[in-house]
Amino acid sequence: MDRRSFMRLSLAATASGVLIPTAALASDKMSGAGGIYYTKEQPGRWAAKAGGHVPLITLQKSGADTMVEVVTPHEMKEYEHFIVKHILLDKDYGFIDELMFDPTKDAQARSEYKLTGYTGAIYALSVCNKHDTWLSMAEV
Ligand SMILES: [Fe+2]
């Protein structure tokens, strides 16, 4: 392999290594669904568990503010089986906020967040100690 071919190959490898994951995320917001995380539409190996794990998002708008309520209709059976946390992400999957649950005190996996001046998609993640991470989306 001559130097020019090597350089071309190296550039292509670098470009694909850097660009493909980013491009995949940008073009397919649900990439990883059914494997890395689960959704109502792609429950993967937990198909029978979707009903109790998909986070339910409710929005309440008041002027520039939006109250976001996230509820996971899942049991809180102390440390045996419970929702560990909720995480709220913005349209670029940037972290907004999270709430950890204490299964000895929290009877329900419910969290609230206040967004001011935000528009666009939001994503809620709900993490079960046995059945992994579930994602829902809502449009603010
Ligand atoms: Fe679970």
Judgement on whether residues 82 and 106 belong to the same structural domain of the protein: yes
CB 42 within 8 A of CB 33: yes
CB 134 within 8 A of CB 53: yes
Can you give the C-alpha Rg of the chain in angstroms? 19
Judgement on whether residues 74 and 131 belong to the same structural domain of the protein: yes
Range of the domain at 127: 32-139
Alpha-carbon distances of 95 from 46, 90, 126, rounded to whole Å: 25, 7, 14
| Ligand 1 center–CA 18 separation, angstroms | 35
Judgement on whether residues 71 and 20 belong to the same structural domain of the protein: no
Ligand 1 ion local residues (Cβ < 5 A): 128, 130-131
CB 122 within 8 A of CB 57: yes
Q: Say which CATH number the domain at 120 has.
A: 2.60.40.730
The pLDDT score that the predictor gives to residue 34 is 87
Interatomic CA distance for residues 61 and 58, integer angstroms: 10
The pLDDT score that the predictor gives to residue 6 is 43
| Ligand 1 center–CA 9 separation, angstroms | 46
Judgement on whether residues 74 and 10 belong to the same structural domain of the protein: no
**Residues of the chain whose pLDDT is less than 70?**
1-30
| Ligand 1 center–CA 76 separation, angstroms | 9
Q: How many domains does the chain fold into? A: 2
The pLDDT score that the predictor gives to residue 57 is 98
The pLDDT score that the predictor gives to residue 10 is 41
The pLDDT score that the predictor gives to residue 4 is 52
Judgement on whether residues 56 and 78 belong to the same structural domain of the protein: yes
Judgement on whether residues 71 and 23 belong to the same structural domain of the protein: no
Nearest to 136 by CA among 87, 84, 83, 81: 87
Judgement on whether residues 24 and 38 belong to the same structural domain of the protein: no
The pLDDT score that the predictor gives to residue 35 is 87
